[in-house]
Amino acid sequence: MTAENLHKIDTSKLDEIINQYGGKKSNLIAILQKVQEVYRYLPEDAMIYIGTKMEGLSPATVFGVATFYAQFSLEPKGKYEVKVCDGTACHVRGSMPVLTAIKARLDLKDGQMTTNDGLFSLETVSCLGACGLAPVVVINGKVYPQMTSDAIKIVLDTLLKEEA
Amino acid sequence: MTEENKKTLIIEGKEVEFTDEPNLLEVIRKAGMNVPTFCYRPDLTSFGACRMCVVEVEYPNGRRMINSSCTMPPEAGIKVHLNTEKTRRIRKTVLELLLANHDRKCLTCERNGNCELQQYAEEYGIKDIRFPDKELKDYLPIDDSSPALVRDPNKCILCGACVRACTEFQGHSVLGFANRGSKTLVQPMNGRPLGQVDCVNCGQCAAVCPTGALSIKNDTDKVWDEITNPEKTVVVQMAPATRVALGEMFGLKPGENTIGLMNAALRRIGFNYVFDTNFSADLTIMEEATEFLERLKSGQNLPLFTSCCPAWIKYLETQHPDMLHHLSSCKSPMSMLSPVLVELVPKYFNVKRENLVVVAVMPCTAKKYECKRPELGKDGRADTDYVITTQELGKMIRSAGIDFNSLEPEENDSPFGEYTGAGTIFGASGGVAEAAVRTAYEFATGEELKPVDIKEMRGTTNRSKTVELDIKGTKVTVRVVSTLKEAEKAIQEIKDGTANFQMLEVMACPGGCINGGGQPRSCDDSTVKVQRAEGLYKEDSELPFRKSHKNPSIQKLYNEFLEKPGSHKAHEMLHTVYNNKFAGSYKDV
């Protein structure tokens, strides 16, 4: 670990979260969810800290859990987390053109999850259970039903205008 | 065992009794039969990952089902079929799938000829793999950053044995699973190089790895280069535990003491002088027993931690730097003998220092790390130039075309080859403490210790033992642990203030050095380490001298050179200081 990232994470905040869950190894997923809420992703140092601090865990084990579940991100997510449903129903009703439209509007390259300004992050998820509204996009928990490439552009334009 | 709990089942038509075997596979093995497995290791928890040990089980009601024998508890009355059409087909498919995804450059693999995947592929006659080969773009880089181990993820079959060894032996989990499904990998945290994480180099991961995914870093080429260089005088020392295991590579029984054959083989290979680490184990006891008595007297820095195990030392330096003052300042036997050789071989044998090469044969992969520690050298050159493991020596003997079993036993070279029984038992868990007590008792009381054996300290399966001793009215308690998981418990007792012992002996490998990561492979049989330990205690009981201070060569060394235990000269050569390596370790966040 280099000197500069020594202070990147606030260990007292992590201690607080760990203690909130009784420091129990069986609560690791809940702890990681809380940490992700704070940092919008799981910083490497946070995983290492949790792995050394909590009994019965190690950094490698925590990393294993964090990479097993799709809900955890090792890269910082954007202020707006855009989730495009690509379950069967959404897929056949055209979720892929919506995804392409979002990538084009936000200027995201292949494999890039978060915009350079850190405002938006994009991911596909499997079924959200709202198949009747397909194709569905969820932005920070708000559901946008029956999206088209034109409709999603309007949604994004509105958010971008608010941020400008 | 009473009649009632005598239960039987039928394996391949043969009635077999069982009692408390943890799983069906153990019952099958006890009955003298076997099924293939990659992931089952008797000293680790059952995992059921590889599906090679599947058997067909027939219940009394006629129902038949396929089950993995390593995870299934034995049941009375069942019939077990090992080789049915179904089980063989399943095993062959598993092998094909593993081989399709495997880097099959076997000829240049460190585990060539000694690989379970290779062995089963041959036994099951896999000639044709129906699945497409792994694509070139999916190959991952080989990690050779560690001084002791090489990790080749392209040869990993995800059996998880290494992850379990790291967790269950060392409590440390440097290795873990990452990702999911077809992207699953076994790796240190976030794919960091093994040389840059808190790995203690114990090598237990390589010892349980069925393939070449984790292997010992091979240094034999470097040693051959020195041996074949006519200008160089190459001297060798070998650790106690190596002599009772090397023979296994040549068909001898575990525990058979091959020291005479080893001496002969080493000379045949071309080593100029053959000494013995047992000699410096005696030297270590002279210093450590003196240090222990001083600490007992002053009451400071107790309990004393033994300092022979390089994995244990790195563990303390990175995880508990606040406990370093407990460590004995004695170097390990290997690192005591090397500076003595560097100083005295040039004088005794008329060799120039720059032409002298010191090689050590060790049961241990962590010694490869130890010999590179900057403080264990002089004027920028390491005291021990190369460490090779017992396995590597076996390979050198084979490559030199030596018929090991037909050699005539030979003696070591004098004076650094003579040893006592106390030196030889260093290789088993409890041996260092027993040797230290044998000498400390006589140093403290001036009386002869009778009987010499302290049997309570022995045993390779019990990983934590507490032994109370009475040194003429002074009560001394010794804790003997093997595996760092047990060592950590002892450390927590010290931190809680509940520790009641004055000496803590730690060996990181389960059962001690006899079961080291560099020993011939024995992970499918947990009795091998027991037999090796018996081999050492047998040699101890047969030697004329069984206490380190009775070794005539040791007495001579002190008289002529080192003055007395704990002297300035002895400190300069035989003791060291440990460094806080907390910075940069995982805990340093």
Torsion angle of the four alpha carbons B220, B222, B224, B229, in this order, in degrees rounded to the nearest 10: -170
Percentage of chain B with pLDDT > 90?
A: 95
Which residues 49-78 in chain B show a CB within 8 A of chain A?
Answer: none
CA distance B318 to chain A (A): 12
Contact B29, B76 (CB under 8 A): no
Q: Is B367 part of the annotated catalytic residue set?
A: yes
Choose the catalytic residue: B232, B314, B367, B581: B367
| Residue B471, pLDDT score | 87
Query: Lowest-pLDDT range, A4-18, A118-132, B44-58?
Result: A4-18
> Which ranges constitute the DSSP H helices of B241-332?
259-269, 277-298, 310-319
Question: Residue B588 — pLDDT band, cuts 50, 70, 90?
Answer: confident
Contacts of B308 (CB under 8 A, 6+ apart): B284, B332, B333, B426, B432, B507
- Collect all residues of chain B within an 8 Å Cβ-Cβ radius of residue A1: 584, 588-589
CA distance A51 to chain B (A): 9
- Collect all residues of chain A within an 8 Å Cβ-Cβ radius of residue B176: 58, 60-61, 63-64
CA distance B186 to chain A (A): 9
**What is the Cα–Cα distance from B185 to B194, expressed in whole angstroms?**
14
Residues of chain A that touch chain B, judged by Cβ-Cβ distance less than 8 Å: 1, 6, 9, 11, 44-45, 47-49, 51-52, 57-61, 63-64, 67-68
Please name the residue of chain B whose CA is at the shortest distance from the CA of residue A67.
B179
Q: Is B288 part of the annotated catalytic residue set?
A: yes
Q: Is A58's CB within 8 Å of B172's CB?
A: yes
Q: Is B178's CB within 8 Å of A67's CB?
A: yes
Please name the residue of chain B whose CA is at the shortest distance from the CA of residue A11.
B589
Point out which residues pair with B330 in neighbouring strands.
B575
- Collect all residues of chain B within an 8 Å Cβ-Cβ radius of residue A15: none
| Residue A40, pLDDT score | 87
Choose the catalytic residue: B17, B122, B354, B375: B375
Predicted complex ipTM: 0.91
Contact B559, A21 (CB under 8 A): no
A–B: how many Cβ contacts below 8 A?
Answer: 56
> Which ranges constitute the DSSP H helices of B245-276?
259-269
B175, B180, B581, B589, best to mutate vs chain A, most A CBs in 10 Å: B589
Average pLDDT over residues B97-119: 96
Average pLDDT over residues B417-436: 96
Query: What's the distance, CA B421 to chain centroid?
Result: 20
Choose the catalytic residue: B248, B256, B370, B539: B370
Average pLDDT over residues B550-564: 95
The mean pLDDT value of chain B amounts to 95
| Residue A1, pLDDT score | 36
DSSP string, B10-58: EETTEEEEESS-SSHHHHHHHTT-----SS--TTS-----S-TTEEEEE
Q: Is B589's CB within 8 Å of A64's CB?
A: no
Choose the catalytic residue: B291, B486, B488, B539: B291
- The answer to whether residue B182 neighbours chain A at the CB level (below 8 Å) is no
- The answer to whether residue B158 neighbours chain A at the CB level (below 8 Å) is no
Each residue's pLDDT tens digit, B114-153: 999 999 999 999 999 999 999 999 999 999 999 999 999 9
**What is the Cα–Cα distance from B9 to A163, expressed in whole angstroms?**
73
Each residue's pLDDT tens digit, B157-171: 999 999 999 999 999
- Collect all residues of chain A within an 8 Å Cβ-Cβ radius of residue B589: 1, 6, 9, 11, 45, 48-49, 52
CA distance B585 to chain A (A): 8
Instruction: Report whether the peptide linkage leading into residue B415 is cis, meaning its omega lies within 30 degrees of zero.
Output: yes
Question: Can you say whether the dihedral through the CA atoms of B300, B303, B309, B314 is positive or negative?
Answer: negative
Average pLDDT over residues B352-357: 96
Q: Is B176's CB within 8 Å of A60's CB?
A: yes
| Residue A8, pLDDT score | 66
Q: Is A44's CB within 8 Å of B190's CB?
A: yes
Average pLDDT over residues B393-418: 96
| Residue A2, pLDDT score | 37
Residue A118 has which token pair?
Answer: 């850190």
Contact B171, B488 (CB under 8 A): yes
CA distance A100 to chain B (A): 26
Point out which residues pair with B479 in neighbouring strands.
B466, B504
Say yes or no to pLDDT of B410 above 80: yes
| Partner-chain residue, chosen from A44, A48, A64, that has the shortest CB–CB distance to B177 | A64
Q: Is B586's CB within 8 Å of A47's CB?
A: no
Give the predicted TM-score (pTM) of the model: 0.92
Average pLDDT over residues B411-436: 95
Say yes or no to pLDDT of B1 above 80: no
Q: Is B375 part of the annotated catalytic residue set?
A: yes
| Partner-chain residue, chosen from A11, A51, A64, that has the shortest CB–CB distance to B586 | A51
Please name the residue of chain A whose CA is at the shortest distance from the CA of residue B187.
A60
- The answer to whether residue B176 neighbours chain A at the CB level (below 8 Å) is yes
| Residue B3, pLDDT score | 56
Question: Residue B6 — pLDDT band, cuts 50, 70, 90?
Answer: confident
| Partner-chain residue, chosen from A1, A63, A68, that has the shortest CB–CB distance to B584 | A1
Say yes or no to pLDDT of A62 above 60: yes
Please name the residue of chain B whose CA is at the shortest distance from the CA of residue A59.
B189
| Residue B501, pLDDT score | 96
Each residue's pLDDT tens digit, B171-225: 989 999 999 999 999 999 999 999 999 999 999 999 999 999 999 999 999 999 9
| Residue A4, pLDDT score | 40
Each residue's pLDDT tens digit, B61-81: 999 999 999 999 999 999 999
| Residue A3, pLDDT score | 36
Say yes or no to pLDDT of A112 above 80: yes
Say yes or no to pLDDT of B441 above 50: yes
- Collect all residues of chain A within an 8 Å Cβ-Cβ radius of residue B172: 58
Per-residue HEC secondary structure of B502-533 comes to CEEEEECCCCCHHHCCCCCCCCCCCCHHHHHH
Each residue's pLDDT tens digit, B225-266: 999 999 999 999 999 999 999 999 999 999 999 999 999 999
A55, A63, A73, best to mutate vs chain B, most B CBs in 10 Å: A63
Contacts of B33 (CB under 8 A, 6+ apart): B11, B12, B82
Average pLDDT over residues B299-319: 96
| Residue A5, pLDDT score | 44
**What is the Cα–Cα distance from B392 to B242, expressed in whole angstroms?**
11
DSSP string, A10-66: -HHHHHHHHHHTTT-GGGHHHHHHHHHHHHSS--HHHHHHHHHHSTT--HHHHHHHH
Contact B329, B318 (CB under 8 A): no
Question: Residue A70 — pLDDT band, cuts 50, 70, 90?
Answer: confident
| Residue A7, pLDDT score | 43
Q: Is B513 part of the annotated catalytic residue set?
A: yes
Question: Residue B5 — pLDDT band, cuts 50, 70, 90?
Answer: low
- Collect all residues of chain B within an 8 Å Cβ-Cβ radius of residue A61: 167, 173, 176
**What is the Cα–Cα distance from B535 to B363, expressed in whole angstroms?**
15
